A and B are shown apart, each in its own frame.
Chain A
Amino acid sequence: MDIIIVGSGRVGRTIADHLNLEGHSITVIDEDAHALEKLPDTQNIMTIEGNGATLSTLKEANVSDCDLLIAVTATDELNLYTCLIAKNAGVKRTIARVRNPQYTKDLPFVKDDLKLSLAINPELICAKELTRMLKFPGVESMTTFARGHIDLIKIKVEKGCVLANKKVVQSSHILKDGIRICVVERQGECFIPNGDFVIEEGDYISFIAPSKAAAKLLKSLGIVSNRGRTVMLLGGSRIAHYLAMDLCDAGIDVKIIDNDKERCLELSEALDNALIIYGDAMDQDLLLSEGIEHCSAVVALMNTDEENLVSSLYAKQVNPKAKVITEIGNLKISSVFENLPLETMINPKKITGENIMRYVKAMHNSRDSEFETVHPIANGKAEALEFRVRKDNLATGIALSGLDLKDDLQIACITRQGKMIIPKGSDSIEIGDTVIVVTKRKGLSDLEDILR
């Protein structure tokens, strides 16, 4: 595919590198010649020095023949504007990086008007990833859809679990609020259950649910209890901000330590329930007085890898039981960390890159279709596909009970104007919906493929 990347910052360069390795042809636009020089020197990357938000520069990059434009300059507004111009100039799809939390919140309102295919917020994605690791310690794995509003969670049915040895319909009092079991794994086999399916002890079940309902369900199943858990965040970055919001919502106590007073004030204004400490997170006495020994998790999110590493190592030393997560930004020396006693590292740029890559892959696999993303379930034996319905087709406008669906396939969830619907037989798929389909079949690339 032909892809334009506007903005040759660190994320821009990472994406360019990855896409280049995948064999796409890349054009990178930046006003700063120095930034362009830092790009890996290969034949497949073309660089243009200029303002990517102007038509003349975009035309120089042959925008009308391109499949995708990714705007990752430092400013949100510029990214959105660039995408709008490029879309009008004829590019097929656009991706913008939008980091301002207030803009992110409002994006569903204007996404269609801006003709934006995807808006990504690296810090938000990163925070969601961290939330996933911290929020539900008893969960096997967790994926999110629909900008993090819908979770796909895999848990093990333990002995004595209320769901065990019952048909799915018999547990409807627990599986309310839009919770649906979509995949059951049993001894290496994988099932898409209907209402008569009997869940047994030792099964792994994956269910789909709105985030809040999921948290409730996990609590009612006795899988997690966040009561009394404290998570300490070292550094008050944007990731810390998003993460604290999610963790507070989940009832976890959050402590944030940052050594910038202005930032502390901002955070204390924005976060009602988190405890904000103004001080140096590299100060041993401060960490001890704030109880680093008794935290259930410590996340190091400071500006430099060195600070994060040292503080994480210290946390592990004084509190070996805690889950310690370290943010690492500099890819090049990552191999050095492998021998350190730190179990979890996250790399925001890598995560951003992966998200864009996943989107590009899905796009590449199914050009011009409505297919958005794919998430593998049960080690790839099944997958959850996200479709966005753009135009009328054979599956739209008809009550689901009237659709002749293929076997081993379930319409798990429909999102309409930001609201999640767990579809019943009387619901139907409409234009503008996002539909999540769970299936064991491979090779579905279009919504109509779900029909027999």
Chain B
Amino acid sequence: MNKRLIFYILGWVLVIEGLCMQLSTIVGLIYKESSFKYFLFIGLAIIVIGALLVIKKPKNPTMQLKDGFASTTLSWIVLSLAGCLPLFFSKAIPSFIDAFFETVSGFTTTGSTILTDIESLDKCMLFWRSFSHFLGGMGVVVFLLAIIPKLGGNNSINLMKAESTGPSVGKSMPKLRTYAALLYAIYVGFTAIEFVLLLLGGMNVFDALTTAFATAGTGGFSTYNASIGHFESTYLQTVVAVFMMLFGVNFYIYILILTRKFKQILKSEELFIYLGIVVGATLAIAVNLLSYYDTFKEALHQSFFYVTSILSSTGFAITDTNPWPAFSVVLILILTCIGACAGSTGGGFKVSRIIILCKEIKKEFMLIVHPRNIYTVKTDGKKVSHEVARSVSVYLTIYVFIIVITTVLISFNGFDFTTNFTSVLATLNNTGPGFSMVGSAGNYSEFSTFSKIVFCFNMLAGRLELYPLLLIFIPQAWKKN
């Protein structure tokens, strides 16, 4: 491991985080809240520590894949540790592990909360929660790649690999820095559009901004106890639903739109299957909910909001879904696991991995019928290499193992099975709400300290897509060469 290089990157992460905290300081000053000082001083302290690490450039700037994975994972842990300090010191969240859980949930864009009364928090604290979604959504390392030249030396793609979502990372431009900057530009652009549309619907600036942040990162923190249900406007809820869907799409599609390569968009199987899932699940749940709502229109609205919220792994709520019929509940859990598209800000298993697995299944059966068949798995008209296919299969195995093991660990609490199982799914897939105690109207405050640590692990594992986080537990990775 190139430890000097890792510390250098961690330094930059701290500097950026400290600067971002000053946004909360400004919010605190605007609302004349005394708690702004926590952001100001902790932020400054973080900047100083970060600057000390950044001053000395590493002698060897070569970044191996394992260095990329390790520095990204450690960045996220450091980011969460530092980010929870203002919440903890200001006594907004008096327990350290609760504050850490809340911050991890924010940066990983999960949106699970331990707060029972969100509205009692200061505005600057609420702003920081929502802003953590925005920073975590596209990824802080991608942000560094966009602004700092020659970060990670010649192989900085290895940094991108750890943080981007999906089975394989391709960049469509020769310069990684331009590509990262373009991704962020699209991200900020969409957030701005949503912000304006929410303002037009009558939201105030603070609510519109925090809601747009939480949607953009597909996070799900709201500044109200009733989440988006607080805004009793079909227009506002629909705007949020549509943007949740849009942020779940591979950002590469938007680059293709910007560069006018429409033919290539038509080839994207993932996009159409994703949209197909949205339409299919919305209709199925809407029909299933007919007996719960007066009109089909209302059922459709509820269904569309939840399908986009869960599939994109955002986790916003407009009602309590616990009393919903079993069919809808099971569908929502399946959507939780599927998750968004690769290369989006969403979490979950990712549609593209499921496509690859389905094609591998077909290949396996073709081999039984024609033992000497040679079959090339393709997605979007391009060959899926054996390495990617294998990596996806192993990904599934690890994914299932983590679900099984952490469900066992969570069950020590003695809660019901639905709570245990859905809380694991909701955290590992970065969705946020599950069912029963952790339903769309519930929260995670009742869990033991140990459970919360397990959840933090799940959230980070889900956001970093398993391999980078697990790598730091592999001793060989830390040996020199």
Contact = CB atoms under 8 A, between A and B. Distances in A.
Contact of A278 (B373, B376, B383): B373
A278 B372 contact: yes
A269 B383 contact: yes
A267 B375 CA distance: 9
Contact of A261 (B366, B374, B376, B378): B374
Contacts of A264: 374
B14 to A, nearest CB: 46
Nearest to A271: B376
B370 interface: yes
Contacts of B375: 268, 276
B349 to A, nearest CB: 26
Contacts of B373: 275-278
A295 B477 CA distance: 55
Interface residues of A, number: 14
A272 interface: yes
Contacts of A272: 378
A277 B383 CA distance: 18
Contacts of B366: 275
A271 B1 CA distance: 44
A276 B376 CA distance: 10
A290 interface: yes
A272 B366 CA distance: 14
B374 A278 contact: yes
Contact of B376 (A265, A277, A286): A265
Interface in A271-297: 272, 275-279, 286, 290
A267 B376 CA distance: 9
A261 B374 CA distance: 8
B370 A277 contact: yes
B374 A276 contact: yes
Nearest to B381: A272
B383 A275 contact: no
A277 B372 contact: yes
A20 B109 CA distance: 78
Interface in A45-84: none
A398 B383 CA distance: 50
A279 B383 contact: no
Interface string B351-379: 00000000000000010001011111010
A269 B377 CA distance: 8
B378 A269 contact: yes
Nearest to B374: A264
B372 A279 contact: yes
A264 B366 CA distance: 15
Contact of A265 (B370, B374, B378): B374
Nearest to A261: B374
Contacts of A290: 370
Nearest to A256: B374
B130 to A, nearest CB: 46
A166 to B, nearest CB: 41
A286 B372 contact: yes
A279 B373 CA distance: 9
Interface in B88-106: none
Interface in B378-416: 378, 383
B70 to A, nearest CB: 35
Most buried by A among B372, B373, B378: B372
B348 to A, nearest CB: 28
A421 B370 CA distance: 45
A268 B374 contact: yes
Nearest to A264: B374
Interface string A241-285: 000000000000000000001001101110010011111000000
A275 to B, nearest CB: 6
A100 to B, nearest CB: 19
A238 B192 CA distance: 53
Contacts of B370: 275, 277, 290
Nearest to A291: B370
A286 B373 CA distance: 11
Interface string B252-292: 00000000000000000000000000000000000000000
B85 to A, nearest CB: 53
A269 B376 contact: yes
Nearest to A255: B370
B443 to A, nearest CB: 49
A99 to B, nearest CB: 23
Nearest to B382: A269
A290 B383 CA distance: 25
A430 B383 CA distance: 43
A102 B448 CA distance: 63
A3 B220 CA distance: 77
B383 to A, nearest CB: 5
A394 B449 CA distance: 93
A314 B370 CA distance: 21
Contacts of A267: 374
Interface of A: 261, 264-265, 267-269, 272, 275-279, 286, 290
24 contacts: A261-B374, A265-B374, A265-B376, A267-B374, A268-B374, A268-B376, A269-B376, A269-B378, A272-B378, A275-B366, A275-B370, A275-B373, A276-B373, A276-B375, A277-B370, A277-B372, A277-B373, A277-B374, A278-B372, A278-B373, A278-B374, A279-B372, A286-B372, A290-B370
Given A268-B375, A276-B375, A286-B372, 17 more contacts: A264-B374, A267-B374, A268-B374, A268-B376, A275-B366, A275-B370, A275-B373, A276-B373, A276-B374, A277-B370, A277-B372, A277-B373, A278-B372, A278-B373, A278-B374, A279-B372, A290-B370
Pick the 8 closest A-B CB pairs, nearest first: A264-B374, A268-B376, A279-B372, A276-B374, A269-B376, A268-B374, A278-B374, A278-B372
